Amino acid sequence: MAESEGDSGQQAWIIVAGPDTIGICAEKGVFGLNGKGPLGRVRKGDRLVAYVRGDKVFAGVGVVTEPYYLDDEPVFLGGLYPDRIGIRIDLLPPEKRLDIWNFLDELTFPSDKVRWHASLVGGIRQIPMSDYEVFEEGLGAKPVNKG
């Protein structure tokens, strides 16, 4: 995928996890998958949007604090997920989280507006920086500082 716009070459990503796991990610400052895949392209300072699978809501925005690494320390429920990135993400309380219908018409991602959920399979998805800014504004977040 192409890099996002911007002078710094920052990229933006949606991370996808279940309700319990997204809380662990925010608390422990880590996001993990089974397999390097797109995590290998994630860089320190890249921006994040948290999507809660199951609840089908966007829960907050954040920043990558550490690029891809391997770690076998058990952190997550239901799996090891040793392929990881460091994150700092501020999650909104459940009642303030938003579903995609709050944003869909403003986003360039996904291209299929009917089956948008199919584009979130895989745990992480790169999005244009302009879409990240829509999420940042819609979720009422302050701009995230790098690092």
Quote the CATH superfamily of domain 12-136: ph1033 like domains (3.10.590.10)
Return d(Cα 4, Cα 1) in angstroms, integer. 9
Instruction: Evaluate if residue 92 carries a pLDDT over 50.
Output: yes
Containing H/E element for 136? helix 129-138
1 alpha carbon, distance to own chain's centre = 16
pLDDT of 146 over the 70 cut: no
Q: For residue 34, what is the DSSP state?
A: S
Give the whole-angstrom CA distance, residue 75 versus residue 53. 19
Q: List the chain domain ranges.
A: 12-136
Q: What pLDDT shows up at residue 13?
A: 98
Q: Kindly report the CA angle at 38 between 85 and 108, in degrees rounded to 5?
A: 110
pLDDT at position 2 is 39
% of residues, the chain, pLDDT over 70: 90
Does the pLDDT of residue 116 top 60, yes or no?
yes
- pLDDT of 26 reads 97
Average pLDDT, the chain: 88
pLDDT of 142 above 60: no
Positive or negative, the CA dihedral 17, 21, 24, 30 is negative
Predicted TM-score (pTM) of this structure: 0.87
pLDDT average, residue stretch 72-89 = 94
8 Å CB contact between 87 and 65: yes
Q: What tens digit of pLDDT does each residue of 9-41 get? A: 899 999 999 999 999 999 999 999 999 999 999
Whether residue 120 contacts residue 51, with contact meaning beta carbons closer than 8 Å, is answered with yes
Q: What is the pLDDT of residue 63?
A: 97
